[in-house]
Amino acid sequence: MNKRPTINDVARLAGVSKRTVSRVINGASNVGKATRERIDAVIKETGFSPDKQARGLAASRSFLIGLIYDNPDALYIDQVQRGVLSVCSEKGYELVVHPCNYNTDDFISNCIQFVSRSRIDGVIILPPVSEAKELAETLREKQINYVRMASVDLDDHSNIVVSDDRAALRDLARYMVSLGHRDIGIISGPQRYYSSKERLEGFLETLNDLHVEVPIDRIIEGKNSYESGIECARTLLIQSPRVKAIFANNDEMAAGVLKVAHEMGITVPDELSVAGFDDNLLAARVIPALTTVQRPVGDMAALAARKIIAQIEGTEVSETETYLVKPHLIIRDSIKRV
Amino acid sequence: MNKRPTINDVARLAGVSKRTVSRVINGASNVGKATRERIDAVIKETGFSPDKQARGLAASRSFLIGLIYDNPDALYIDQVQRGVLSVCSEKGYELVVHPCNYNTDDFISNCIQFVSRSRIDGVIILPPVSEAKELAETLREKQINYVRMASVDLDDHSNIVVSDDRAALRDLARYMVSLGHRDIGIISGPQRYYSSKERLEGFLETLNDLHVEVPIDRIIEGKNSYESGIECARTLLIQSPRVKAIFANNDEMAAGVLKVAHEMGITVPDELSVAGFDDNLLAARVIPALTTVQRPVGDMAALAARKIIAQIEGTEVSETETYLVKPHLIIRDSIKRV
DNA sequence: AATATACGTGCCACCGGTGGCATAGTAAAG
DNA sequence: CTTTACTATGCCACCGGTGGCACGTATATT
C-alpha cells in the first residue's frame, strides 16, 4: 500500500512546520488553539502516528520497557506480563521480554547489553533476580530506570513494589492454629532468597506468639520444585509421622506433598492438612484443592509499570501510589479442623 | 558513565569512514582484509555495538519480532517465548509480546497498529488467532512478514509451522484400543477451531478403522477450560455411565474429569481411564498423573522464529527445514488396561 | 508611546546509522 | 602501454523525528 504518513506529510497538509506538529503530538502547551485543531484534524484524517524509531533516535528513547526474570513459574510470568501490558499499551509503550540465567557470570553484563542495545527505557525486574543487589547497583550507576518486584522492602519506594509475604504468612499461621493445629511441619524455600526467609519467619514468628512450637527437625529446606516437594515431604513424613499439617513454600511443593501423602496412604485433609503459596494454576485443580496464599500479581505488575513510566517521563508517582501490597489467604479444601 | 561509543567513534579510531565501519558490522564482502581487521579490533576494544534505533530508522527495520496471541494457557505461551527467544537472541532480535483479544472488532487493526507503530519486522501468530484467515490476509496485503503456528496446514510452508495433532490422536486411539477400551467418551474442543476438529477427527477416524463405535451422545463439545471440563464430565458420566475411558481435548478439561470422577466416587484409572492433550503443568502433578500428548512447543516456536528471520533477511529457509512436527504420546497413570 | 514580557511558530542542526554513487587504486585483458 | 573491470573506500543525502534558538506579533507594564 501507500506508505505510512510521516510528520512531514502532516505538516504540509496542515500548512505548518513539522516542529509545530511535533509539539502537538507531544502535547506541548504552547501551540495556538486554531493551529492545534487543524493539525489534530489532519492527523486523524491521515491516520498518522509517529514512528517510534525516529522518535527514539531523536529523543534518546525507545518506548520499550524490558522485563527481566529468571523464574520457572510460567503462570506468574504470564500474569505479570498481562499486568504490565495493560498499563503499557495505554501509555504507548511496548513490552520486551528478557528471561535470563541468574547464575551465569555474564548475567549482569547480559542484562546491561540488552538494555543498551535496544535503548530500553526502563526495566522491571522480577524475583528472584530482583534480589540481586549487584544488578540494581549497576543499573543505578548507569542511570538506567528500573523497578523491582520483591517480597522485602530493599530499595527506594519509587524503585520497588513489594508484596508483604510475611504478613500473609502471619494470617496463615493464625488460621491453622485457630483450627486446632499444633503439630506443624514446614517445607521452606531456599533460605538464600529473602522471599523464602520472610515467609518462614512470618510463619514461625506467629506460631511462636501463639505458643506453638515447631521443632527444628520439622523444618526442611526445599528447592521450590515439585520434585523437591516430593523429596522433602517423604523425609518429613517419615521422620516426623506425628505432623498433622504442613506448610509448603509454594504450591508446586504442596502438590508434591499431596502426591507423597497419596502414596503413603495418608488422606488429605482428614489425616494431614496442607497449605501452599502462590495460588498457582495447580492450586484449584489438584485434589483436594489447596488452601494457599494469593498475591495480586497482576496489580503489582501494573503498579510497577506505572512506576517505571513515571520514572521515564519524569512525572513523579502520585504519593497515594503505595509500594506495598498484601497477599491474602485463599481457603479451599486442604486444611481441616483437627 | 561515558556514553556508548557510536559508529563515528569507531570510524575515527580506525581511521576510516563510517561507511566502511557500517560495511564491517553488516558483514559486507567488499572490505579489505587489513581494514576489516583493524576495525574489528577497534570494535572489540571500545565495546561498540550498533544502535538498533538508528539502524532501524535508516534501514527501515527494527530488529523486533512480535508475538501475537490470545491464549489462556500461560504454560504454552511461556514455552513459546523461550523457544523464540533462544533463536532471537542469537540473531540479534528482541521479542515484543502482544496478547490481544481475538473477539473484538478492532482486533485486526489493533495488530496492524502494533506492527506498524513499532516497525515490528515480523510477527509470529499463535493458535487460535493463527486460524484467523482475515488477519493473515491483511498481513500479506500489507507485506508484513508473518509465521503462523497451527494444527492444520493452511498456508505456504514458509509461513507456517504445524503440529500434526491428527496423527498424534491416531496414536492415542490405537493405544487406548490396544488396552482393550471399547466404551469411549469424548469431550472435544470448540469445533470452530481447526485444532479441535483435527483432534476429534483423527481420534474418531482411527477408532472407526479399528471398528470401535462412539455413539454421538458420547461426544460432548467443551470449551477447553477446567470449569467446562467439569460440566461436560458430569453430563457425560451421568448420561452414559458405561463409558470406561474419556479423551478430553486438553489437560485442563481432563483435570475436570478427574475432579468429577472423584466427586462421584469413581476411581481413576481403575474404573475410568482418562487422556488429555498438551502435557500441561498439571498433567504430571495431578493424581493420577495424566496420560497425554505432548507437542514440542519450544522447538516449533524456535522453528517459527527461524522462518520469520529468514523472511526478514531474505535468506531462504533451508529446504531441509520442515514445517510439520509430530506430537507424541506421554504415557503416565491415567489409562489402564480393562 | 515606548519598552518589557509572553506566546506562537519556524529554521536548522542533529540523533546514529544505511543507500547510492563517485573515485582512486589495482589487476587482468588487449 | 593502454584500456577495461573490479575492488576497496569515501562522500553526502536521508530515514523521521526532537532540541535549541531566533523571530514576529500581541499583550502587559511603566
Q: What is the pLDDT of residues B78-98, one digit of tens each?
A: 999 999 999 998 888 999 999
Residue of B nearest to A281 (CA): B282
Give the pLDDT confidence score for residue A270 in this predicted structure. 97
Give the pLDDT confidence score for residue A32 in this predicted structure. 87
Please give, chain by chain, protein residues whose CB is below 7 Å from any atom of strand D.
A 3-4, 6-8, 18-19, 21-22, 25-26, 48, 50-51, 54-55, 57-59; B 15-20, 23, 29-36, 57-58
pLDDT for A90 beyond 60: yes
Q: How many CB atoms lie within 10 A of CB A217?
A: 11
Say if CB A68 and CB A111 are below 8 A apart. yes
Helix (H) or strand (E) holding A148: strand A145-150
How far is CA A324 from its chain centroid?
12
Task: Determine the residue among A53, A85, A115 to mutate to test chain B binding: the one whose Cβ has the most chain B Cβ atoms within 10 Å.
Answer: A53
**Residue from B178, B66, B48 nearest B126 by CA:** B66
Task: Determine the residue among A52, A62, A98 to mutate to test chain B binding: the one whose Cβ has the most chain B Cβ atoms within 10 Å.
Answer: A52
Q: What is the pLDDT of residues A225-243, one digit of tens each?
A: 999 999 999 999 999 999 9
The values of phi and psi at residue A64, to 5°, are -115, 135
Neighbouring residues of B164: CB distance < 8 A, sequence distance ≥ 6: B151, B324, B325, B326, B327
Q: How many CB atoms lie within 10 A of CB A318?
A: 8
**CB-CB under 8 Å, A99 with B96:** no
Q: How many CB atoms lie within 10 A of CB B131?
A: 19
pLDDT for B319 beyond 60: no
Give the pLDDT confidence score for residue B320 in this predicted structure. 57
Neighbouring residues of A186: CB distance < 8 A, sequence distance ≥ 6: A200, A203, A204, A214, A218, A219, A220, A246, A247, A248
Judge residue B217's burial from the number of C-beta atoms within 10 Å of its C-beta, 0-12 exposed, 13-18 middle, 19 or more buried: exposed
Give nucleotides in strand D with any atom < 7 A to a protein C-beta: 7-12, 14-20
Question: Using alpha carbons only, what angle is made at residue B279 by residues B317 and B239, rounded to the nearest 5 degrees?
Answer: 125
Q: What is the pLDDT of residues A150-175, one digit of tens each?
A: 999 989 888 999 999 999 999 999 99
Name which of A1-5, A56-60, A214-218 the model is least confident about: A1-5
Q: Select the residue of B113, B252, B286 nearest A286 (Cβ to Cβ).
A: B286
Give the pLDDT confidence score for residue A288 in this predicted structure. 96
Please give, chain by chain, protein residues whose CB is below 7 Å from any atom of strand C.
A 15-20, 23, 29-32, 34-36, 57-58; B 3-4, 6-8, 18-19, 21-22, 25-26, 48, 50-51, 54-55, 57-59
Rounded to the nearest integer, the mean pLDDT of chain B is: 93
Residue of B nearest to A282 (CA): B282
A194 CA to D27 C1', in Å?
Answer: 63
CA A250 – CA B229 distance, rounded (Å): 26
**CB-CB under 8 Å, B287 with A285:** no
pLDDT for A302 beyond 90: yes
Omega within 30 of 0 (cis) for the link into B241: no
A275 CA to C14 C1', in Å?
Answer: 61
The values of phi and psi at residue B38, to 5°, are -60, -45
In the chain, the amino acid numbered B124 is: I
Rounded to the nearest integer, the mean pLDDT of chain A is: 93
Q: What is the pLDDT of residues B144-159, one digit of tens each?
A: 999 999 999 989 888 9
pLDDT for A188 beyond 90: yes
B269 CA to D11 C1', in Å?
Answer: 78
Give the pLDDT confidence score for residue A96 in this predicted structure. 95
Give the pLDDT confidence score for residue A2 in this predicted structure. 61
Give the pLDDT confidence score for residue B318 in this predicted structure. 59
Name which of A65-79, A231-245, B189-203, B249-263 the model is least confident about: A65-79
CA distance A196 to chain B (A): 22
Omega within 30 of 0 (cis) for the link into B128: yes
Give the pLDDT confidence score for residue A320 in this predicted structure. 57
Buried b (16+ CB within 10 A) or exposed e, A142-181: eebbbbbbbbbeebeeebbbbbbbbbbbbbbbebbbeeeb
**All 3 cell numbers of residue B92?**
540479534
pLDDT for B286 beyond 90: yes
**CB-CB under 8 Å, A282 with B281:** yes
pTM confidence score: 0.90
B200 CA to C30 C1', in Å?
Answer: 76
The values of phi and psi at residue A55, to 5°, are -60, -45
**CB-CB under 8 Å, A75 with B287:** no
> Which chain A residues are closer than 8 Å to B53 by Cβ?
53, 56-57, 62, 118-119
Name which of A62-71, A200-209, A307-316, B271-280 the model is least confident about: A307-316
Q: What is the pLDDT of residues A305-331, one digit of tens each?
A: 999 999 888 776 555 578 999 999 999
> Which chain A residues are closer than 8 Å to B258 by Cβ?
287
- Counting one residue from chain A and one from chain B, the pairs whose CB atoms sit within 8 A come to 113
A18 CA to D23 C1', in Å?
Answer: 17
Report CA-CA distances (Å) from B28 to B23, B59, B90, B102.
Answer: 5, 15, 19, 42
* pLDDT-based confidence at residue B284 (cuts at 50, 70, 90): very high
